[in-house]
Amino acid sequence: MENNSPMTPEEKRKAYPKPPGQRPKVILRRAPDYDPERIAAIVRDGLTELGLAGRVRGRVVLKPNVVMAHKKIAPSAYTRPEFMDGVLRALRSAGAADASYTIAEKSGAGLTTPRVFRRAGYRALQKTHPVRLLAIEEAPKIQVELTRGRLHDQIATASEIADNDFLVYTPKLKTNYLTQGLTAAIKLNIGILRDRQRMWNHNDHLDEKIVDCLEVGYPDFIATDAVEIGFGGNQFTQHGRLLGLVVLADDPLAHDVICARLLHLDPRSIGHLVEAEARGYGPLDPAGMAVSGDISLAEAMDRTKDWDVHPIRVEESQDRMRILSGEPYCSGGCHGVFLDWLYMIKDRKPKLWTKLPRWTVVIGEYNGDVEAKRLLLIGTCTKINGTVKAKKIRRVRGCPPGHKRLVLELFLKAGIWNPLIRPELVLDGYVFEFFALVRRFFRGRLG
Handedness of CA 347, 348, 350, 356 (dihedral sign): negative
Residue at 56: amino acid letter:
V
- Distances in Å between the alpha carbon of 361 and those of 44, 155, 345, 378, 393? 51, 35, 16, 7, 10
- Distances in Å between the alpha carbon of 249 and those of 97, 238, 352? 24, 26, 42
pLDDT of the residue at 18: 59
User: The pTM is what?
Assistant: 0.93
DSSP reduced 3-state for 313: coil
pLDDT of the residue at 349: 93
Q: Using CB atoms within 10 Å of the CB of residue 10, give its burial: 0 to 12 exposed, 13 to 18 middle, 19+ buried.
A: exposed
110: left (phi over 0), alpha (psi -120 to 50) or beta: left
One CATH from 1.20.210.10, 3.40.50.11440, 3.30.1540.10, 3.30.1950.10 for 9-303? 3.40.50.11440
pLDDT of the residue at 357: 92
Separation between Cα atoms, residue 128 and residue 316, nearest integer Å: 48
25 Cβ neighbours under 8 A, 6+ residues apart: 49, 50, 249, 250, 251, 254, 289, 290, 291, 292
pLDDT of the residue at 4: 47
pLDDT of the residue at 5: 47
pLDDT of the residue at 444: 72
What residue spans define the domains of the chain? Answer: 9-303, 314-416
**Other residues' Cβ atoms within 10 Å of the Cβ of residue 248:** 25
- Whether 237 contacts 154, CB under 8 Å: no
Q: How many residues does the chain have?
A: 447
Query: What phi and psi values does residue 25 have, to the nearest 5 degrees?
Result: -115, 135
pLDDT tens-digit profile, the chain (447 residues) = 344 444 554 565 455 555 666 789 999 999 999 999 999 999 999 999 999 999 999 999 999 999 999 999 999 999 999 999 999 999 999 999 999 999 999 998 788 999 999 999 999 999 999 999 999 999 999 999 999 899 999 999 999 999 999 999 999 999 998 898 999 999 999 999 877 788 778 888 899 999 999 999 999 999 999 999 999 999 999 999 999 999 999 999 999 999 999 999 999 999 999 999 999 999 999 988 999 999 999 999 999 999 988 888 999 987 789 999 998 899 999 999 999 999 999 999 999 999 999 999 999 999 999 999 999 999 999 999 999 999 999 999 998 998 899 999 999 999 999 999 999 999 998 888 888 888 877 777 776
Separation between Cα atoms, residue 392 and residue 373, nearest integer Å: 6
- Whether 98 contacts 105, CB under 8 Å: no
Q: How many helices (H) and strands (E) does the chain have?
A: 16, 15
- Whether 118 contacts 155, CB under 8 Å: no
pLDDT of the residue at 255: 98
CA atoms within 13 A on the CB side of 335: 27
